[in-house]
Copies of this chain bind each other. A is one copy, B any other.
């Protein structure tokens, strides 16, 4: 591809037409199923992309940290779900209180202790903050068992939070087997239904029942789940391609990289390493990324500034100095390494977007 004057590799490039198609397709799927769509912004960390998601009908954004919420509140996103069991220390408590005054805020809860701190931080603020009880549907990460959701909802309400429902993350749906993805979606439905019943048994309405991930996107059924939080779908990546939830033409993000060395026939080295692509590995990707122009190539080695690419016997390598693109294994970590995204349309760079929430971890 051609980079504009003044631009060097490595650089992350977004194909805006593919991006818009991905955004619209997910929005249409959510509409068709009657789900609210609250995309996870950790995948792009970019105000321009958030605006496109909102324009396509997203009800708000999901974020992972308080500072990510602050970063998106700044350009005016006014409905934010911190889908994380936030633990407030003293500085975070002050920030949380301020943010609650600036945006409609929802936060995850998976312990009574954390809920108490959230409630304490809100004392004196006029605006209510909604809490969703996090339940584990089989991913084995955070969240209580569904039957415990009722007691935790009581604790959260006692702490002063407005209990609005339940949420879960079907991380075990990252699988090459479509049957496994469907099973994860069913786990999610079961866990949310059970947790919602536990809330209702204690007199809470489980108005929001939030789940969803990009791999389970094709598996949704209306009913137990009524809100979805996929993130990766805006770009897709080599892992999504590997598990079969997207096609090569759905890949919207890649690193433009230069061939800096051709040490052996069929082998070449690019200037995009783990400090550009991220170091994520996956059982569903053979190597460290995917080269759209060389789909049979394997990134056999990844150092911080070198990607070693091996071609099948007989396939000619690109010339020294050629610019080729590599799709990262995991787009979320790649984006978080970049300060800006080059925006391309039909092969030409037409804009630059700042990764406005890069590095917002606290």
* A residues apposed to B, CB below 8 Å: 3, 5-11, 42, 64-65, 84-87, 89-92, 110-111, 113-114, 117, 136, 140-144, 171, 258-263, 269, 271-272, 274-276, 278-281, 301, 303-306, 308, 320-321, 330, 332-333, 336-339, 359, 361-362
Give the distance to chain B from A325, nearest Cβ to Cβ, in Å: 15
CB pair A308 B140 closer than 8 Å: yes
24 contacts between A and B (CB under 8 A): A8-B91, A9-B89, A10-B361, A11-B362, A64-B304, A65-B305, A85-B261, A86-B260, A87-B258, A87-B271, A89-B321, A110-B261, A110-B263, A111-B320, A141-B263, A141-B269, A141-B308, A142-B261, A142-B269, A142-B306, A274-B278, A281-B281, A304-B333, A337-B359
The answer to whether A140 and B301 touch (CB under 8 A), given A279-B330, A333-B279, is yes
CB pair A337 B338 closer than 8 Å: no
CB pair B11 A263 closer than 8 Å: no
Q: How many copies does the complex hold?
A: 2
The answer to whether A143 and B305 touch (CB under 8 A), given A274-B333, A361-B10, is no
CB pair B263 A144 closer than 8 Å: yes
CA A261 – CA B84 in complex, angstroms?
10
**Chain B residues closer than 8 Å to A117, beta-carbon distance:** 321
